[in-house]
Amino acid sequence: MTSFLSDQNKMLANPIFNPQGDDRIENRSIWFGKTTNLMQLNDVRYSWAIGLYQQMRENFWIPQKLDLTQDVTDYWNLTAEERYAYDGILSYLTFLDSVQTCNIPHLKSCVTAPEVSLCMAEQISQEGMHNQSYQYIIETVIPSDRRSTVYDFWRTDKVLADRCQFIAGLYQKYIDHPTAENYFTALLADYLLEGIYFYNGFIYFYNLASRMLMPGSADIFKMINRDELSHVRLYQKLIPEARQLFIHSVDQIYEMFDTAVQHEVKWTNHIVGDHILGVTEGSTEQYTKYLANLRLKAIGLEPLYPQEKYQKSPYRHLERFSDTKKEGHTKANFFEAGVTSYVMSSGIGGWDEI
């Protein structure tokens, strides 16, 4: 891929205000533009960003309005393995949303199209709120003497600790050495996190809900799921643009995807394994490779795993729980009409296949 940049180029954060900037849309670009840093949104070059921002805002929800009463008693009806996985997945997802809240401002700081910056500002807000929703679950469902162990799980679980360090490391590398090359890697790492790392966790909660267990938790995760898919859409727009500007190779992208899949499968097998009804090591591998193929296709690349079985999800029967289908999102929640009765959104299309 050709580029006008070398990997020696430093990514510079935009000045807070640049009176010499040029906000005309014909001179606007997502990176390396010369913005005044005014949110000049009257004329926009990337109109998809305005539509996406609107959808993200329409996804508005408040965790505390979702009812966890049944989950408090269900928690003790889980098997020991199910409870272990419940706590461990919560811990992992808390880590993911923590690093997103921390890292997105770094990626955003050199974006020179205000309409794209607007979407990233909303993303940061949502990631922060996701952390608050985990706190709400932990405080409501998990007994007080076990709550800190959810946050501290990585201190004693080596698989999680290694995973956290790897994910954080790619972001940290850019912060320590803000080259264009490291920026592209961090952007891709972001897409992998948004597009692959959450979903075996979501599936675990939908699986419990399909067995009439922990319905409030699943309600919260379907809202987070919907938010995350809007973030996936954002990076599906950004990465093809970035590929025009940053030096990289397709091999690098495939290598990062393959590593991401291996880490995700290893972690899920570690925390969920083969002991829980509805999830096997085989279904985890199939689902993760299917997701990787889907995410690659969305940025214009061929599947990394071309075998037939990796072209479809093994969890289609759980989709009705995910709230990501156009037909499904206005339906009632799993067992009552709680969620839908306050969801304000009416403009969301199907998030599936993005």
Query: Residue 31, SS3?
Result: strand
Instruction: Work out whether 130 is an interface residue with Fe ion (CB under 5 A).
Output: yes
Rg (CA), the chain: 20
Give the Cα separation of 283 and 293 in Å (integer). Answer: 15
CB of 93 to Fe ion, least distance (A): 8
Among 75, 134, 290, 305, the active-site one is 134
Alpha helices in 177-310 (DSSP H): 180-192, 199-210, 215-245, 250-271, 281-298
Give the Cα separation of 189 and 167 in Å (integer). Answer: 8
Question: Which range, of 229-237, 242-250, 270-278, 321-329, touches Fe ion by CB under 5 A?
Answer: 229-237
Q: Which amino acid is at 78?
A: L
174 is catalytic: no
251 marked ligand binding residue: no
Q: Which amino acid is at 131?
A: N
Residue 166 near residue 267, CB atoms below 8 Å: no
Instruction: Work out whether 295 is an interface residue with Fe ion (CB under 5 A).
Output: no
CB of 78 to Fe ion, least distance (A): 24
81 marked ligand binding residue: no
Which residue in 108, 231, 237, 295 binds Fe ion (CB under 5 A)? 231
Specify the residue, 33 or 195, whose C-beta has the smaller distance to Fe ion.
Answer: 195
Instruction: Work out whether 228 is an interface residue with Fe ion (CB under 5 A).
Output: yes
Site for Fe ion in 78-97 (CB under 5 A): 97
Instruction: Work out whether 122 is an interface residue with Fe ion (CB under 5 A).
Output: no
Specify the residue, 247 or 299, whose C-beta has the smaller distance to Fe ion.
Answer: 299
Number of other CB atoms surrounding residue 290 within 10 Å? 20
CA 177 to chain centre: 24
Q: Which residues are annotated as a binding site for Fe cation?
A: 97, 127, 130, 194, 228, 231
Active site residues: 134
Interaction site with Fe ion (CB under 5 A): 97, 127, 130, 194, 228, 231
